[in-house]
Amino acid sequence: MYPAPFEYYRAETAQEATELLSKHVGAKILAGGHSLVPAMKYRVAAPSALVDIGRLNLNYITAAEGVLKIGALSTHATVASSDVVKHNCAIIAQGAAGIGDQMVRNRGTIGGSLAHSDPQADYPTLVTCVGATIKTSSGKSYNADTFFKDMLTTALEENDIITEITMPVYGSGTGGFYYKIPHPASGYAVAGAAALVTVEAGICKRVSLVVGGATVNPVRAVEAEAYLVGKAPTSENIKAAAAMVAQVIKNPMGDGYASGAYRTHLAGVASERTLVEAVHRAA
């Protein structure tokens, strides 16, 4: 399939990109193009113009004073291989390494993935789990917990550009892991779960558990988190917590590959496996 005709502009600065987006009604931001271009080819999207932000200075990763900062144009491959990410928020590098295939990882960007908010994408689940903040060119900041609003819909205002994602760093005593059951064709999550667990003196002090892929947006498994806090991370307790995950999955998505009931089941399986590995890494 060929996309509908469109104009193409390349911005050198965020201000120029914003001006181009305002000037051309129906224009869309182009980053890695690995979600937008397929949508255009299927004619699910038919923007009047593309504003390419690839030359904006948003390809950086830094960590200082307990905060990891990832520029929105950092590709999945850059994040996956970054020692700064591995040392400060390893779950993000581990999750990025499992996105799609090498070609997708070489082009797709973290900002594009978050703005697109695909229900099966990995970054929405990961950034919600670590408590990330999403920053934009207009100066707005969104907590990941409230950023994803619906199917392919976020809190972003029209023409606003994601510029940076920040997240708290974690150190020894905290372990993180992302476990997904990937679709065999694309690698997208049929269901996935991200966990961060802090263990002190053999007791779970802090637990963050977020599941994705089963519903239109990632959901926090609040009952499972609360159940584990204050308990030893034994296999029995983890199993009991994972069994609570189904409670937060309202209106699970189903299709020809995996029904809603099956995705709900897989979310529990992924949660148990990811908690076991997160606890292992905390030690």
Ligand X SMILES: Cc1cc2nc3c(=O)[nH]c(=O)nc-3n(C[C@H](O)[C@H](O)[C@H](O)COP(=O)(O)OP(=O)(O)OC[C@H]3O[C@@H](n4cnc5c(N)ncnc54)[C@H](O)[C@@H]3O)c2cc1C
Q: Which segments of 108-163 does DSSP mark as H helices, in order?
A: 110-116, 123-130, 144-147
In b/e form, how buried is each residue of 154-188, taking b as 16+ CB within 10 angstroms?
bebeebbbbbbbbbebbeeebbbbbbbbbeeeebb
Among 11, 17, 21, 161, binds ligand X (CB under 6 A): 161
Query: Does position 122 bind ligand X by CB under 6 A?
Result: yes
DSSP labels for 33-83? -TTHHHHHHTTS---SEEEE-TTSS---EEEETTEEEEETT-BHHHHHH-H
Query: Does position 36 bind ligand X by CB under 6 A?
Result: yes
Residue 262 makes CB contacts below 8 A (sequence gap 6+) with 254
Query: Does position 135 bind ligand X by CB under 6 A?
Result: no
Question: For ligand X, which is the closer residue by CB, 60 or 205?
Answer: 60
Question: For ligand X, which is the closer residue by CB, 40 or 196?
Answer: 40
Query: Does position 248 bind ligand X by CB under 6 A?
Result: no
Judged by CB under 6 A, the number of residues near ligand X is 31
Query: Does position 99 bind ligand X by CB under 6 A?
Result: yes
Question: Which range, of 84-92, 120-128, 218-226, 265-273, touches ligand X by CB under 6 A?
Answer: 120-128
Query: Does position 18 bind ligand X by CB under 6 A?
Result: no
> Reduced to 3 states, what is the DSSP secondary structure of residue 4?
coil
Query: Does position 109 bind ligand X by CB under 6 A?
Result: yes
Angstrom distance (rounded) from CA 207 to CA 267: 17
Phi then psi dihedrals of residue 182, to 5 deg? -85, 145
Which residue, 184, 186, 141, 194, is CA-closest to 164?
141
Lookup result for tokens 């000037």: 23
Restricting to residues 44-63, which ones interact with ligand X according to CB under 6 A?
none
Question: For ligand X, which is the closer residue by CB, 56 or 195?
Answer: 56
Take residue 45 and report the two structure tokens written for it: 């999207």
Query: Does position 77 bind ligand X by CB under 6 A?
Result: no
Query: Does position 186 bind ligand X by CB under 6 A?
Result: yes
Distance, C-alpha 70 to centroid of its chain: 13
Do 145 and 220 touch, CB atoms closer than 8 A?
Answer: yes
Among 11, 17, 21, 32, binds ligand X (CB under 6 A): 32
Task: Give min distance, CB of 112 to ligand X, in A.
Answer: 2
Task: Decide the pairing of beta strands 27-30 and 49-52.
Answer: parallel
Task: Give min distance, CB of 72 to ligand X, in A.
Answer: 4
Among 4, 15, 26, 38, binds ligand X (CB under 6 A): 38
Query: Does position 218 bind ligand X by CB under 6 A?
Result: no
Task: Give contact residues for ligand X (rule: CB under 6 A).
Answer: 28-36, 38, 72, 99-100, 104, 107-109, 111-113, 115-116, 118, 121-123, 161-162, 186-188
